[in-house]
Chain A
Amino acid sequence: MKISKIWSTVMYLPFFICFVLFWAIPVFYGIYISLHEWSLFGGNGGFVGLENYITVLSGDNMFSVSFYRGLENTLVFVGFSVIPLVLVSLGLALLVNNIPKKLKVFFRTTFFISYAVSVTAVSAIFKWLFTGNGGYINNVLNTLNIAPLNWLNEQPYAWITILIATVWWTIGYNMILFINALDEVDYNLYEAAGLDGANWWKKFRYVTFPSIKGVFIFVLMTTIIASFNLYGQTLLITAGGPQQSTQSLIMVIQQVVFSQNNLGIGTTMAVIMGVIMMVITGAQYWYAYRKD
């Protein structure tokens, strides 16, 4: 069937309009703002070229100090959260995939339910569990004769609390993706590997992993991006503390824009953050597929 040029263009239009309105214009307008002195109230104060970028990157003023602190905190979280978020969900998917079918549906749903809970509710629950003064976890530790910990106000416990909350909250989503990928693996390959004498590890290494590699890389990249966007958990569980050590870059940008009204500097930080995320995920993508 031949589709006319006009009709195909009309079919394409809704996507194109949405792409321009919700992606292209915000991105290019953001870059435009970052090249200007721009107040949330006062509006455009004039073209400043790369001055905002120099201010943010120079390291000798409060904007720059808060940017680097936010970036460092975010990288710390990305560094220690991505491995458990990906590997624990993969392990869980392998476990769920190997149980009887009736139970599989139950556990798949159970683990996924936590993903449907809002960050506000998750944060409230974990804040209550880990609160230092008579919190649930400390009471459990106390019954085991272990000294209570100041979970929310002392490092590294504050990060550990945020990590546990994040893993509990998001693990179901990655697990579902892995389960779907595992369902697609050809069962004959396992049989053949078994006949060749492969143990469970060799089956995983030479059959399972190569078969789900595409999904693994997708999960890895989306998890890195999600960890970069850390905001709700640190805002609601630790409020960025103790001493700004869990203040993520998004929190810093939010403060600069909405509390300090400095849209120019805030947008500059957001653009730099976007570039850093693109470089990291791009490098990771290149590394994963370099042999292909």
Chain B
Amino acid sequence: MKKVLLSTLLVGSLFLAACGNGSGGGNANETEDGKVQITFLNGFTGGDGGYMKKITDGFNESQDEYLVEEVQDKDHYTKFKTGDYDLVVIHANNLETYKQDGMIQDINPLMEQAGLSIGDFHEAAENLVTFDDGTYGIPLDIHPLTAFYNKQLSPEAPENYEDLVALTEELQSQDPNLYAAGVPNAGLVEYYIMTAAIQNNIELLDGNHLNFAQEELADALMVYHDMVWKDNISPAGLGLDGEFQAFMKQVEEGNTGVQTAVALTGPWYYQAVSETYGEDLGITSMPQIGDEPGVYGGSHTIALPSSVTDEKEMEAISAFVEYMYQPENLANWAESGQAPLHTATLDLIAEDPEKYPLANENAKQFDTVTGAPQVYQFGEQMRYMIENVFSMLVTEENLTKEDLMAELQIATDNAQQIADTAPEQ
């Protein structure tokens, strides 16, 4: 029987040994030809992914000491939580969460090593990445809500709500399936909610959580309800990413589809809209639908995982970051349509507006762009607003402000409960 037990233990330990990845924690990985290898994780699986790959490939070809293995994954946050990576792209609105959870470290020393400082970036960058106890991300870009328009349907760029009303009246007189712009019930609605708050100067941050239960916010959000149900700017019933799909649609006889002249959407759709519309594509800033100009923007930053401590790895990462932030290299990122925050790169792309039309247009919004408040689990604090409240706004014709206020209170209670789970109280 002892032999049986012994063989059980042997098989078990062999199995467990096979499960291990064999790498020692904290030590640099080296390739067979002696290069220090680092892994760079990001979520660039759309049209912009190829442009980041160009930068990585360029770095790998430029020298023979280091090798960057780029991992692009749609669900890269889950990969980051469950794996071991050396450099990771994190949205600015997630930095507070990953900082509090101890997943990322102050990146200032690395920036210094790479010859960068926060002064090398547009002033909009500082608020996004700087915290009381350090800098937790190297600013990469800001991707604000962007207005694409079809010049065949809207020769002029709409600048405000009145322009959208006038445009929809004109289009409806041509064809009842033509509208000015689409308001979706899901997808980019975080951008819509935050832009309404920014354009009406509403402060959502209340201590450690977001406070949505404000009369002013209810009024601001009701504008989207009016766009669908009162002023007929948007068709009703647009679903997930409906603002983009309706913009790409062509109204045809016998088809039930509706088409819009303007898409208030993300700049990452640039490749698709430019292929469809070519010369007829117009790009402009977010129209003013509130009291003042302004727009919400997401932002990519490059963060350093807490697990990275090895000096050789740090040197490899710093060499890669230094290469990436050379204007001629980062211009690749601008070519994808993303607007980089690095000032020297902005200057470079400004010299060639035809090659970088979207990046240049969105760079104009930097002065009025506002990012997310720095709260723990921003996305989770927003979840009820995104999945319930906004959907209700655009799908329920008879929604009243009182109904909306009740929902905003639930959203605030949820945000408070999420904030209370933060490690730093």
Binding site for B on A (CB under 8 A): 6, 9-10, 13, 16-17, 21, 39-42, 61-63, 131-135, 138-139, 141-143, 148, 150, 152-154, 239-244, 247, 255, 258-262
In the bound complex, what is the Cα–Cα distance between A141 and B284 (angstroms)? 37
Measured CB to CB, the nearest residue on chain B to A21 is: B15
Chain B hits for A261, CB < 8 A: 81, 101
In the bound complex, residues from chain A placing their C-beta under 8 Å from that of B237 are 132-133, 150, 153-154
* A133 touches which of B78, B242, B387, B392 (Cβ 8 Å): B242
Q: Which residues from chain B contact A139 at a C-beta distance below 8 Å?
A: 254-256
Q: Which of B1-9, B323-331, B363-371 contacts A (4 or more CB under 8 A)?
A: B1-9
Chain B residues with Cβ under 8 A from A154's Cβ? 237, 395
Check: B109 CB closer than 8 A to any chain A CB.
Answer: no
Interface segment out of the listed B33-41, B139-147, B415-423: B415-423
B355 at the interface (CB under 8 A from A): no
Of B8, B81, B235, B388, which is within 8 A of A41 by CB? Answer: B81
Does B414 touch A at the CB level, under 8 Å? yes
**B256 CB contacts on chain A under 8 angstroms:** 133-135, 138-139, 141-142, 148
Nearest 5 A/B pairs, CB to CB: A134-B257, A41-B101, A150-B237, A148-B256, A153-B239
A-B contact pairs, 24 of them (CB 8 A): A13-B7, A21-B15, A40-B81, A62-B418, A131-B239, A133-B242, A134-B258, A135-B256, A142-B255, A148-B256, A150-B239, A153-B237, A153-B238, A153-B391, A241-B185, A243-B387, A244-B387, A244-B388, A255-B383, A258-B77, A258-B81, A259-B379, A259-B383, A260-B418
CB A267 to nearest CB in B, in angstroms, measures 15
Kindly list chain B residues whose C-beta atoms are within 8 Å of the C-beta of A148: 256
The complex places the Cα of A171 from the Cα of B126 at a distance, in Å, of: 56
**Interface members, chain B 1-47 (any A CB < 8 Å):** 1, 3-4, 7-8, 11-12, 15
Say how far B163's CB is from chain A's closest CB, in angstroms: 23
Q: Are B8 and A17 in contact (CB under 8 A)?
A: yes
Closest to A149 in B: B237
Expressed in whole angstroms, the Cα–Cα distance for A150 and B228 within the complex equals: 15
B379 CB to nearest chain A CB (Å):
7
CA distance A134 to B239 in the complex (A): 12
B102 interface residue, CB < 8 Å from A? yes
Chain B contributes a number of interface residues (CB within 8 A of A) equal to 45
Residue of A nearest to B3 (CB): A6
CB-nearest residue of chain B relative to A148? B256
| Contact string against A for B residues 382-405, beta-carbon threshold 8 Å, 1 for contact and 0 otherwise | 010001100110010000000000
Asked if B299 is at the interface of the complex by the 8 Å CB criterion, the answer is no
Cβ B421 vs Cβ A10 within 8 A? no
Residues in B neighbouring A39, C-beta threshold 8 A: 101, 423
CA distance A132 to B239 in the complex (A): 8
Q: Are A41 and B387 in contact (CB under 8 A)?
A: no
Most chain B CB within a 10 A radius of its CB, from A16, A21, A132:
A132
Q: Which of the residues B101, B240, B249, B377 comes within 8 Å of A241, measured between beta carbons?
A: B240
Q: Check if A133 sits within 8 Å of B245, measured CB to CB.
A: yes
Which B residues are CB-close (under 8 A) to A262?
421
Bound-complex Cα distance A152 to B246 (A): 15
Q: Does B186 contact A (CB under 8 A)?
A: yes
Q: Among the interface residues B7, B77, B380, which one has the most CB atoms of the partner chain A within 10 A?
A: B380
Known: A62-B417, A132-B237, A259-B380. A17 touches B11 (CB 8 A): yes
Which of B12, B240, B258 interacts with A17 by CB under 8 Å? Answer: B12
Bound: A258/B258 CA distance, A = 37
For the complex, is B103 an interface residue (Cβ under 8 Å from A)?
A: yes
B413 is an interface residue with CB less than 8 A from chain A = yes
Given contacts A62-B418, A133-B242, A148-B256, 6 further A-B contacts (CB under 8 A): A21-B15, A39-B101, A134-B249, A141-B256, A142-B254, A240-B387
A133 touches B258 (CB 8 A): yes
What chain B residues lie within 8 Å of A41 (beta carbons)?
Answer: 81, 101-103
